[in-house]
Amino acid sequence: MSLMNKSKRSRTNRAALLSAVFTLLLAGCASDVNPRVATRPNNDAALTGDLPVNPLQWKVITSAIDKQNSTMYTLFGNDVAVQYARTHAQHDYPAGSTLSLVTWSQQEDPRWFGGNIPSAPKSVEFVAVALGPDKKPTYVYQEFEGSPLKKTSSQESTAPDGRSAYLVNQRAAVMP
Amino acid sequence: MAKPPLRSSVTFLIILGVLFLGMQFLRPELTNPPVKADLQAPPEVKQILRNSCYNCHSNETRLPWYDKVVPAYWIVTSDVTTARQHLNFSELGSLPPAAQKAKLYEAVNQIQLGAMPLPAYTKVHPEATVTEAQLKVLRDYLAPASLTTPAETATANEQYGKWLPNGTNLTQTHLSPNGVPFLPDYKNWKAISSTDRFDNHTMREILGNDIAIKAIAENHINPWPDGTVLAKVTWFQQPDDKGFVHAGAFQQVELMERDSRKYAATGNWGYGRWRGTELKPYGNDAKFDAECVGCHTPVKKNDYVYTMPIAGQGKGQSQ
C-alpha cells in the first residue's frame, strides 16, 4: 500500500516537474521577444468607417507633417490624378481625378526612438473632379472625421475653394 | 555494477587541467589604442555610456579577471574588436555633429529593443544592464525634437523642376553592389506606413509591392513571403513659414527584397539604397550591406522589418 502511494506520488511529482519545466520554457520563449519587436500591424492607424473608397489602395502623391499639432498627412491619388500630378506643375486636374488627404495623429514609433508614425486617423478628405453638364469641371469635396470615420462635410463647387483648393494645390513629391 | 577505475578519471582530469592551462597561452592581442576624439556629452549621459558600453565600444576596455581567462577571453576579444568597428566612443567625436547624433540614436534604439548590451554579456556582467531610468536619461538627452532648420528651398525646387518633365530616365541597370536590383515601379506601390524622423530631419513613405500588400491583408508578415519587396522613400523635411513641414528634396529610396535562397546570407533579405535623383547605388562593394543587416538585427524576431504596416490593407475598393 505504502509502496503504491510512493510510486503514485513520484509520478505526480514528475508530471508536476515536467509541466513546470515546460511552462518555464514557454515563458522563456515568450519573454525572449522584446514587446517593441513583437509582430503586429498598426491597428491604431487603420481607416475604419464608411469611406466610399480606401485611399490606401491608391498611390502616394506627397506627404506633410504638422509639428505643432503632432499630426501627419499623406496625399493619395487615383491613377488619373497621380499621372497628372507627376507630370504637371499646374493644378488643373483632369476629370476623373480623385485626391484623398488622410490625416493621422502621431505616436512615437515603438521600434525607433527618433521617429513618429501614424496613430488614430483624424480625418479623410476627398476631392473628385468631374465634368459638369456645361463641360466645365466640378469639384466634389467630402470630409470624414471621427472614429469610426463618418461623413461630416460635402460640398460641390465649380472652382476649388477652401480645403479642396488646399488638396489640389499640393505638388507631387519627387520620386525618381 | 562496474565502476570506472578511479585512476583513469584522475588522469582525465589532469589532461583537462593541462589543456586548460596550455590554452591560456593562446592569447589574441587586445590593446587600448589612444583615445583620439572621445564623445562629448553631459556627465550623466557619459556615466551611463561608460558603465554599459565603453568596455567594448571604446579604446578604454577594462576587463575583469574572469574575462581574461581563456576561453572567455577569446569571446571577449572578438566581441570588442567587432564592437569597436561598429561604434567606438573614443573616436566618435571626430564625426560631424549630425553623424554623431545618428550613432547615438542608433545606440539608444539598440538598447531599447533589448539588442544591446548583448544579452549574453549582461548575464555575466549584470552591472552593465541599462535600467529604465538610465534609458530615460539617454532619451531625454537626444529628445529635444529641434524644429527643422529651413532646408534650401531652392534645391528642392530645382530638383522638382528637373524631375517633372523627365520622370525616371535610367541609363544604367542600377544594381546595388550586392546584386539587389532597383525597381523603378516602387513609386506605384501602395503605402503601408509613413514616418516623421525628427532624429535626422527626414520624412518617409513606406511602400509595398503586391506580394507585400497581400501578406499584410492576410496577416502573414512573420515571416514575410518570398517575393515581398518593401520600399522606403525619403525626403528632407521642408518647413514653411507656418511651421508646417512638407516633403522637400528627395534624398533616397531603399528597397528590401525577400528571397530566402538568393539572400540567405543576409537574413533572407536583400538590401539596396539609391541616393539622389540620379539614383546612385549606395555602397562600395558587395559587403556594404553588413551595415544594413547590423541595423536591422534588433528586429530579427520580426523578420528584420521595422515597419508596422497600417492595418486594413486590401479592404475597400480602389476606384
Residue B57 has pLDDT above 50, yes or no: yes
Residue B56 has pLDDT above 60, yes or no: yes
> Quick one: average pLDDT of A8-19?
53
The pLDDT assigned to B79 comes to 93
Confidence of residue B242 (pLDDT cuts 50, 70, 90): confident
Least confident of A5-9, B4-8, B69-73, B154-158: A5-9
C-alpha cell at B109: 534604439
Q: What are the residues whose beta carbons fall under 8 Å from the beta carbon of A137, sequence distance 6 or more?
A: A92, A93, A95, A129, A130, A131, A158
> Quick one: average pLDDT of B218-242?
95
Q: Which chain A residue has the Cα nearest residue B147?
A: A67
The pLDDT assigned to A28 comes to 45
The pLDDT assigned to A108 comes to 96
Domains of chain A, by residue range, sit at 1-32, 55-168
Q: Which chain B residue has the Cα nearest residue A35?
A: B113
* B111 touching chain A per CB within 8 A: no
* B297 touching chain A per CB within 8 A: no
> Quick one: average pLDDT of B24-53?
93
The strand ranges marked E within A88-136 are 98-108, 115-131
Percent of chain B, pLDDT > 70? 92
pLDDT tens sequence across A128-154? 999 988 888 999 999 999 989 999 999
pLDDT tens sequence across B110-169? 999 999 999 999 999 999 999 999 999 999 999 865 555 656 678 899 999 999 887 766
Instruction: Please say whether the beta carbons of A74 and A56 come within 8 A.
Output: no
Sign of the CA dihedral B217, B220, B222, B225? negative
> Quick one: average pLDDT of B197-215?
96
**Across the A/B interface, how many CB contacts are shorter than 8 Å?**
194
The pLDDT assigned to A4 comes to 45
This complex has an ipTM of: 0.87
The pLDDT assigned to B146 comes to 57
Instruction: Please say whether the beta carbons of B289 and B271 come within 8 A.
Output: yes
The pLDDT assigned to B149 comes to 61
> What's the CA gap between B202 and B250, in Å, rounded?
10
Confidence of residue A30 (pLDDT cuts 50, 70, 90): very low
Phi and psi dihedrals of A98, rounded to 5?
Answer: -135, 130
B303 contacts in chain A (CB < 8 Å): 39
The strand ranges marked E within A34-149 are 59-66, 71-77, 98-108, 115-131, 137-145
Torsion of CA B183, B285, B228, B294, to 10 degrees: -140
Tell me the one-letter amino acid at B147: L
The pLDDT assigned to A26 comes to 47
Percent of chain B, pLDDT > 90? 76
Label residue B14 exposed, middle or buried (CB < 10 Å: 0-12, 13-18, 19+).
Answer: exposed
Quote the CATH superfamily of domain A55-168: Cytochrome P460 (3.50.70.20)
Test mutation, B194, B236, B277, B313, chain A, max A CBs within 10 A: B194
Sign of the CA dihedral B166, B172, B173, B174? negative
The pLDDT assigned to A27 comes to 47
Could you please report the per-residue DSSP string of B147-203?
PPPPP-HHHHHHHHHHHHHH-----S----TTSPPP-GGGGGSEEEEEEEETTTTEE
B196 contacts in chain A (CB < 8 Å): 65, 72, 106, 115-117
> What's the CA gap between B83 and B103, in Å, rounded?
13
The pLDDT assigned to B166 comes to 76
Confidence of residue B6 (pLDDT cuts 50, 70, 90): confident
The pLDDT assigned to B165 comes to 83
Architecture in CATH of B153-302: 3-Layer(bba) Sandwich (3.50)
What residue has cell string 538585427? B297
C-alpha cell at A176: 525618381
A32 contacts in chain B (CB < 8 Å): 301
The H-or-E segment that residue B258 falls in is strand B244-258
| Distance (Å) from the alpha carbon of A54 to chain B's nearest alpha carbon | 5
Least confident of B50-54, B61-65, B227-231: B61-65
Least confident of A8-12, A152-156, B22-26, B283-287: A8-12
Half-sphere exposure of B85 (CA within 13 A, CB side): 8
Q: Which chain A residue has the Cα nearest residue B231?
A: A175
> What's the CA gap between A41 and A37, in Å, rounded?
11
> Quick one: average pLDDT of B194-221?
96
In angstroms, how far is CA A105 from the centroid of its own chain?
10
Domains of chain B, by residue range, sit at 19-142, 153-302
pLDDT tens sequence across B247-272? 999 999 999 999 999 999 999 999 99
* B217 touching chain A per CB within 8 A: no
Label residue B54 exposed, middle or buried (CB < 10 Å: 0-12, 13-18, 19+).
Answer: buried
* Average pLDDT score over chain A: 87
The pLDDT assigned to A2 comes to 45
> What's the CA gap between B87 and B81, in Å, rounded?
10
Instruction: Please say whether the beta carbons of B244 and B150 come within 8 A.
Output: no
pLDDT tens sequence across A78-126? 999 999 999 999 999 999 999 999 999 999 999 999 999 999 999 999 9
pLDDT tens sequence across B268-296? 999 999 999 989 999 999 999 999 999 99
